[in-house]
Amino acid sequence: MTNPLLGPFIHCMNDVLALSESSPADIWLLLDDRAGNRNQCLGVAEALKLPFEHRDIEYNALGALPNGMTGASFLGLSRATKENLMPPWPRLVIAAGRRTAGAARAIKRMSKGTTKIVQIMHPGQAGIREFDLVAVPSHDTVMGGPNLLTVQGAPHSITAEVLMSAKDKWSEEFETLPGPRIAVFVGGDTRRKEFDSSMAREFGQAVNTMAVESGGSLLISTSRRTSVVSADAFLSQVSAPHVLYRWGNTDENPYVGYLACADATVVGGDSVSMASEACAGTKPVYIYAPPGFVMDKHARMHKALFEGGYARPFGEPYSEWFHAPLNAATEIAAAIHGRLGIG
């Protein structure tokens, strides 16, 4: 059933559509303000190897409403965003997260079904059958359906080619540091769990021990969720040779450079995206997730990565081992090509 709030808007947009004679773009990415959502959309689009365009999404006060209330509409979007979502409609829309779902559904309806819509992460049950493909990580417990694709981890754009390019660019920056070089991505607070200074000190001490005992060094980066207090507590325990990027520095972020040049990576288990991107290469990955630090769904993801041989729990000494690269973007792209016939 059409949301009654959407009716006048659909009629208006259909009039605009009738007047338009331009050729549609291949793909639109609906990119909102969440970095993880943006990166997942970009990873899938790049894996498709087809032309795509960004459509930046900003929300108004209605954007916080449940999808069941806003329906297939642009009601939660800012005026500027609405003006940027106009026909001709694309062949495919890729979006991620709950808040973009209503806009994707509205575009499909206004295109009279010619636009296919792919949603990364489960958007909730409202209008779920309208999506042509919904890609959900295996650690999310959701009901299945014919349009559901279960993948491991989060899609991203860290490919072998990206890592090779980053290694060429960054290797000289770290060549004076003794090996093994261990990249450490310090996480932080989430909506439900706190990364406090005591936990940060313990983490800092443990990674420092790993570097000292192996005779190596650390490539350290904090994240946008790492508080100043926790970052300082972590760094107070580091005596091994190291380089540091603190989130918010004006210097270029060496994130991909760290992934490319490190002999091993230690990543905070609070971020699905960071854990997935850490597994993009083939070198050892260790996930820091002490009891009580992460939510159950994160713990399920870590368990799947451990069982798949992509990562190990942080706490064991450094050792050299290898795993297959992990990137759900390639699997989602293959489903778009195969199931939807795009490409």
Q: How confident is the model at residue 13 (pLDDT cuts 50, 70, 90)?
A: very low
Residues 6+ apart with CB under 8 A from 324: 282, 309, 310
Domain identity same for 74 and 210: no
* Closest C-alpha to 137, from 128, 146, 150, 125: 150
Q: How much is the pLDDT for 266?
A: 98
Better pLDDT: 6 or 284: 284
| pLDDT over 70 (residue 3) | no
| pLDDT over 90 (residue 293) | no
| pLDDT over 90 (residue 6) | no
Q: How much is the pLDDT for 143?
A: 65
Q: To the nearest whole number, what is the mean pLDDT of the chain?
A: 90
Residues 6+ apart with CB under 8 A from 326: 152, 153, 276, 279, 280, 305, 308, 310
Domain identity same for 146 and 22: yes
Asked if residue 144 belongs to a domain, the reply is yes
**Integer distance in angstroms from the first to the last C-alpha of the chain?**
32
Report pTM.
0.86
Q: How confident is the model at residue 10 (pLDDT cuts 50, 70, 90)?
A: very low
User: How large is the angle between the packed helices 328-340 and 35-48, nearest 10 degrees?
Assistant: 60
Asked if residue 263 belongs to a domain, the reply is yes
| pLDDT over 50 (residue 2) | no
Domain identity same for 212 and 289: yes
Domain identity same for 225 and 281: yes
Q: Which of 52-66, 134-148, 259-273, 281-295 has the lowest mean pLDDT?
A: 134-148
- Distance from C-alpha of 303 to C-alpha of 287, rounded to nearest angstrom: 10
Each residue's pLDDT tens digit, 171-211:
999 999 999 999 999 988 877 778 899 999 999 999 999 99
What would the mean pLDDT of 88-116 be, rounded to a whole number? Answer: 96
Each residue's pLDDT tens digit, 119-129:
999 998 889 99
Asked if residue 325 belongs to a domain, the reply is no
Asked if residue 68 belongs to a domain, the reply is yes
Asked if residue 2 belongs to a domain, the reply is no
What would the mean pLDDT of 97-109 be, rounded to a whole number? Answer: 96
Residue 131 identity? F
Residue range(s) defining the domain that contains residue 301: 160-313
Asked if residue 201 belongs to a domain, the reply is yes
DSSP letters spanning 193-204: ----HHHHHHHH
CATH number of the CATH domain containing 279: 3.40.50
- Report the domain count for the chain: 2
Q: How much is the pLDDT for 23?
A: 46
Asked if residue 324 belongs to a domain, the reply is no
